Amino acid sequence: MKRCQLPERSHEWTFDTFSPGEDKDLKKALDAALQLANEDGKVKWLTMLGDWDRGKTHLLVAICRQWLARGRPARYAYVPLLLKELRRSFDVEGEYDRLFDFFCKVPLLALDDLGVEKRTPWVMEELDTIVDYRCANALPLVVTSNLTMDELPIRIASRLQRESWCRVIEINAPEHRLPRM
Instruction: Report pLDDT digits (tens) over 144-172.
Output: 999 999 999 999 999 999 888 999 999 99
User: Per-residue confidence at 180, pLDDT binned at 50, 70, 90?
Assistant: very low
Task: Tally Cβ neighbours within 10 Å of residue 2.
Answer: 5
What pLDDT score does 133 carry? 97
CATH number among 3.40.50.300, 1.10.3480.10, 3.40.190.10, 3.90.76.10, domain 44-170: 3.40.50.300
pLDDT tens profile 73-127: 999 999 999 999 999 998 888 899 999 999 999 999 999 999 999 999 999 999 9
SS (H, E, C) the chain: CCCCCCCHHHCCCCCCCCCCCCCHHHHHHHHHHHHHHCCCCCCCEEEEECCCCCCHHHHHHHHHHHHHHCCCCCEEEEHHHHHHHHHHHHHCCCHHHHHHHHHHHCCCEEEECCCCCCCCHHHHHHHHHHHHHHHHCCCCEEEEECCCCCCCCHHHHHHHCCCCCEEEEECCCCCCCCCCC
Q: What is the pTM of this model?
A: 0.91
* Alpha-carbon gap, residue 16 to 100, rounded angstroms: 33
Q: What is the pLDDT of residues 30-89, one digit of tens each?
A: 999 999 999 887 899 999 999 988 899 999 999 999 999 999 999 999 999 999 999 999
Distance (Å) of CA 148 to CA 1, 99, 103, 109, 165: 31, 29, 24, 20, 20
pLDDT bucket at 140, cuts 50 / 70 / 90: very high
